Amino acid sequence: MATRLDLQQYDVNIPLGGVNKFNSNYAKITRTTVQSRLNQYSANLFFLITPEINDHAPSEQLNRVDFKIPANIHLADPGFHLPGEIDALIGAEIFLKLLCVGQISSANDNAILQKTHFGWILGGKTHGAVFSNTPAYNLSLNLLHTKIAEFWEIENGPNKKILLNEENACERHYQENTNRDTVAGRYTVKLSFEKNVGDFGKSYSQALRRFYSLERSLAINREHKEQYYIFMKGYEELGHMTEDKTASTSDGYFLPDHSVVKQSSLTTKLRVVFDASAKTSSGISLNDTLMIGPNIQEDLFSLLVRFRPHTVAVTANIEKMYRQIELYQNDRKFKKILWRQDNRQPVKIFTLNTVTYETLSASFLAT
């Protein structure tokens, strides 16, 4: 039947269980729509493909006259009384959905006419027909439905992602507030605040305490201290941070920073991390006010599909990716840090001028 209908067939290994723990495996599967020949009812269904479903049904020719079927009844199978091959077996997943209101007892008290979306069907025990000693049975297991669902979820690929209200708001904010320098090629973005920040509270004193603590810990490890100062000096020389000589200790938000050591790194063993989750005197942090934004990276399925057709695949890393994206001038006051190159110098206030790692919206804005 699948071949005659020219249905697309897929390889699959699905077990089907039956009476007396009889099991068999099916190697092909297809999907098609069944349509009633009497009305507009249709259903899209999965079918396992097997050389044979069962013996002919009925096993012997029945005397149609004995059932005295009303003339106004439209049968789903007008030739129900003649033995024939079973082309398709519809599973229990939609059987109850097919049943309609309407049931008639035939002249043969053991048979019942039942109305369905496909037309009237006849079922029950019959007299006068010679039956073989081999009973017929069909059993559908829930495991089968689960396996088929898993298969088609993989084959159909990813569904379109539905964004949440906050994610949509973050998208709009990005589209309305992002510019690009046509000469330098750099993008400039605004922080995606979820709410009106108002008075952030005081954060300078906490940032200063943590800076002194960081200095003391770096003084113990000379190698880490040198790497830390190289990192920060490079930050300043490349314009990623700028000293703000007019800044007030009570204005804006100060991010405490600390160092993270990763010995397995092939490039920089020590990395400076800015803590945008540090609470201010009002109990909120910078991250508390930012929208995280949707994940706009390609899903794993798309990456794997594109990866598989090629003989050679190349991956690359965008060096200092976040630092390539600049912040609007008005937003830089929300990312102030404290730093000095030498502990004999006064502690200075700097603003971070680019998208900063560890801020909640950094990944969305940079990507």
pLDDT reading at 111 higher than 50:
yes
Six token digits for residue 70: 């009303």
Which residues, including other chains, have CB under 8 Å from residue 141's CB and lie 6 or more apart? 16, 17
- Predicted pLDDT of residue 158: 56
pLDDT reading at 351 higher than 90:
yes
Mean pLDDT, the chain, whole residue set: 83
pLDDT reading at 197 higher than 70:
no
Which residues, including other chains, have CB under 8 Å from residue 97's CB and lie 6 or more apart? 43, 117
Phi-psi category of 50—alpha, beta or left, where left has phi over 0 and alpha has psi -120 to 50?
A: beta
- Predicted pLDDT of residue 174: 93
Torsion sign across C-alpha atoms 113, 114, 120, 125: negative
Taking the complete model, does pTM exceed 0.75, yes or no?
Answer: no
The residue ranges of every structural domain in the chain are 10-156, 165-366
CB 262 within 8 A of CB 269: yes
- Predicted pLDDT of residue 130: 46
pLDDT reading at 364 higher than 50:
yes
